[in-house]
């Protein structure tokens, strides 16, 4: 049974919009979370920032009996109630579709018609370590799209959607339903939901300190090497930077 996760509020998600993925990754590493960066997952729409709660869908390798089950629904509900649609219908504002396609980057997890539902649900975006069929069409919807690749293939001969909102892997990272998914042009980082509130102040301070240090060293045309790792001099520069900003 899936344990309930901490529901991260929209107000907290909004604050992570301006936090660096690299900073979050570093803070997680300091706490022993060393597998939070998805391998083989890239932005199909460069320049778009993604922050949202994970709604997960696990795909399995195709097999005739599994295909029949998916086609009819686990309890005979019919195609319209199969797992992929259940995942999409479960989404809302602030949610991200996360598809575990076992790293099969050229195998489609869905295409432009299927993933148009993300638009009408006003959800935050799409992440999968599989492929997105006609990804060039999906990116036109305007939301962030992260995938192994764009592909012309269909998925069903190779994979089938199976389970909704269970723990999955995506890009080699464990994703628990409700975890915070952070995507930018560097890739995707998974932030466990229970750590989101705790890490935010540390991340903000780190990013601000680096900005203060950058401005200080550029203005004086000096090397930043003396201020790393962060030390008392770095802290002084940061405090003075904050005062100037009011």
Question: What local confidence, expressed as pLDDT, does residue 35 receive?
Answer: 97
The tens digit of pLDDT for each residue in 100-120 reads: 999 999 999 999 999 999 999
Neighbouring-strand partners of residue 93: none
Flag whether pLDDT at 72 surpasses 90: no
Q: What is the mean pLDDT of residues 60-69?
A: 84
Task: Report the alpha-carbon distance of residue 126 to residue 183 in Å, rounded.
Answer: 10
Task: Report the alpha-carbon distance of residue 83 to residue 37 in Å, rounded.
Answer: 26
What is the pLDDT of the chain when averaged over all its residues?
93
Could you tell me the two tokens for 128?
Answer: 């999968």
Q: What is the mean pLDDT of residues 192-196?
A: 96
Flag whether pLDDT at 77 surpasses 70: no
Tracing tokens 């309930």 back to the chain, one arrives at 4
Q: How buried is 155 (Cβ within 10 angstroms: 0-12 exposed, 13-18 middle, 19+ buried)?
A: buried
What are the DSSP calls for the chain, one per residue? -PPPPPPPPHHHHHHHTTS-HHHHHHHHHHTT----BPTT-EESSTT--EEEEEEEEEEEE--HHHHHHHHH-TTS--GGGSHHHHHHHT--TTEEEEEE-TT-TTSBS--TTGGGHHHHTT--EEEESSEEETHHHHGGGSS-EEESEEES--STTTEEEEEESS-EEETTEEE-TTPEEEEETTEEEEE-GGGHHHHHHHHHHHHHHHHHHHHHHHHHT--GGGG-S--HHHHHHHHHHHHHH-
The tens digit of pLDDT for each residue in 125-155 reads: 999 999 999 999 999 999 999 999 999 988 8
Flag whether pLDDT at 198 surpasses 60: yes
Q: What percent of the chain is predicted at pLDDT more than 70? A: 93
Three-point CA angle 106, 177, 23, nearest 5°: 80
Quickly count: other Cβ atoms within 10 Å of residue 145's Cβ: 27
CATH topology of domain 38-191: Glucose Oxidase; domain 1 (3.50.30)
Which residues belong to CATH 3.50.30.40 in the chain?
Answer: 38-191
pLDDT band at 64 (very low <50, low <70, confident <90, very high): confident
Q: What is the mean pLDDT of residues 165-185?
A: 97
Three-point CA angle 201, 233, 197, nearest 5°: 5
């Amino acid at each position: 049974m899936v344990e309930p996760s901490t529901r991260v509020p929209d107000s907290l998600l909004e604050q992570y919009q301006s936090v660096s993925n690299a900073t979050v990754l570093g803070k997680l590493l300091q706490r022993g979370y060393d597998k939070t960066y998805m391998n083989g997952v890239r932005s199909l729409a460069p320049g778009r920032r993604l922050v949202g709660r994970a709604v997960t869908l696990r795909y399995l390798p195709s097999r005739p009996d599994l295909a029949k089950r998916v086609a009819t629904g686990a309890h005979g509900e019919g195609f319209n109630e199969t797992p992929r649609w259940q995942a999409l219908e479960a989404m809302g504002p602030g949610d991200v579709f996360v598809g575990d396609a076992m790293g099969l980057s050229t195998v489609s997890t869905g295409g432009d018609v299927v993933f148009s539902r993300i638009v009408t649900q006003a959800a935050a975006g799409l992440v999968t370590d599989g492929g997105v069929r006609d990804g060039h069409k999906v990116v036109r919807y305007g939301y962030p799209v992260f995938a192994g690749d764009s592909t012309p293939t269909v998925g069903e001969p190779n994979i089938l959607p199976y389970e909704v909102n269970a723990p999955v892997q995506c890009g080699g990272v464990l994703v628990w339903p409700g975890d915070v998914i952070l995507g930018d042009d560097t890739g995707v980082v998974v932030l466990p939901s229970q750590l989101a509130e705790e890490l935010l102040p540390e991340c903000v301070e780190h990013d601000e300190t680096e900005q203060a240090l950058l401005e200080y060293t550029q203005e004086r045309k000096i090397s930043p090497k003396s201020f790393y790792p962060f030390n008392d001099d770095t802290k002084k520069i940061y405090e003075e930077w904050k005062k100037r900003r009011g």
